[in-house]
Amino acid sequence: MRILVIGSGMAGLTAARRLCAAGHEVTVVDKGRRPGGRMATVTLDDGARADKGAQFFTVRSPEFTAAVEGWLEDGLVHEWCRGFTTADGHPRYVVTEGMADLAMYLTDDVDVCQSVHVDTVRAVDGGWEATWPAGHGGVGGSWHGDAVVITAPVPQAAALLGPGIAVPDIVYEATLSLVVALDGPSAVPDPGGVQLTDDPVWSWVGDNQAKGVSLVDAVTLHTTAEVATSRWDEETAGLTSWLLDSAAPWLGGSAVLDARLHRWRYATPVEPYATRFFEVAPGAYLAGDAFGGPRVEGAYLSGLAVAERIDSAL
């Protein structure tokens, strides 16, 4: 069976690997330059590395436990801590070279094409067709096959399918991510991360050196959804400067060597769908964290579930 997976984030790569293992002919396409989607890592001017999307992951299900045990054995991930302000006993895992490294690892033995921005998905000749225009370093083209799995955030998936195709109504919160390289230690307390619930600007502050991802000092800060929404349209230089001022208490008086802003329009699905994937029509499926739960593990479980559905439908 020829299957196209749109999206090389955790859900797409998990689905693709499972379908490849079952003997299907699978192609993954993604509009980004690198695999990972919201598992994204940036290298700053002084060589600091920092996760700008997902910061760590937790493990609740037996399926994800088995995967994480393999990654631990391979030395790809390590346990960071068991809680932030207070320890709750549940391990928080990080990818030692940064989250994007896990995505790269998952592309092994899978046909993955980056810089492919799909613009339509439609039923044709008893199968499915996807098309994409040239641009952003890629050439235009199309794919035709038996089944398609779309792991883009649901509003983007709906746009690919066009009007008249019913998809679940999933609302997402936005987040602004500020990544800052410093010339000295940050003021983020041990173990190097704080989840903030009543700060007017920030929901998360993390020290990438403390969590073992960067050799030098670098901090990642995420805004609340309210700040992201109210300041979304501001131009980058002014917004970065305002965010840096707001970040000052966490920077420990160290000088800022580099600062990067990223706007996550579809950061977190507010209320995930009731099932782990959605069948749009025979052979076309939506998957991702909107279905499996709003975290790395949820994306993994959704990718696994949709792959098993496609394989068993044969």
Task: State the residues that interact with ligand FAD by CB under 6 A.
Answer: 6-12, 29-32, 37-39, 53-57, 116-118, 151-152, 156, 160, 175, 177, 222, 264, 267, 288-289, 294-296, 298-299
Shortest distance, position 117 Cβ to ligand FAD, whole Å: 5
Closest residue to ligand FAD, based on beta-carbon distance: 37
Shortest distance, position 152 Cβ to ligand FAD, whole Å: 3
H or E element at residue 41: strand 41-43
Shortest distance, position 286 Cβ to ligand FAD, whole Å: 10
Q: Given phi > 0 = left and psi -120 to 50 = alpha, else beta, which region is 277?
A: beta
- Residue (37 or 145) nearer to ligand FAD, CB: 37
**How many CB atoms are closer than 10 A to CB 194?**
18
- Residue (54 or 247) nearer to ligand FAD, CB: 54
CB 22 within 8 A of CB 262: no
CB 229 within 8 A of CB 239: no
Shortest distance, position 123 Cβ to ligand FAD, whole Å: 17
- Residue (24 or 295) nearer to ligand FAD, CB: 295
Give the pair of three-digit tokens for residue 17: 């690997």
Task: Please tell me the distance from the alpha carbon of residue 232 to that of residue 143, in angstroms, as a whole number.
Answer: 35
- Residue (6 or 227) nearer to ligand FAD, CB: 6
Shortest distance, position 64 Cβ to ligand FAD, whole Å: 10
Shortest distance, position 99 Cβ to ligand FAD, whole Å: 8
**In whole angstroms, what separates CA 172 from the centre of its chain?**
14
**In whole angstroms, what separates CA 28 from the centre of its chain?**
15
- Residue (95 or 152) nearer to ligand FAD, CB: 152
Shortest distance, position 46 Cβ to ligand FAD, whole Å: 22
- Residue (60 or 184) nearer to ligand FAD, CB: 60
CA angle 126, 129, 130 (to 5 degrees): 165
CB 161 within 8 A of CB 280: yes
**Pure H helices in the chain:** 10-21, 62-73, 99-106, 154-161, 225-231, 236-247, 289-292, 296-312
- Residue (98 or 294) nearer to ligand FAD, CB: 294
- Helix, strand, or coil here: 50? strand
Task: Please tell me the distance from the alpha carbon of residue 231 to that of residue 222, in angstroms, as a whole number.
Answer: 13
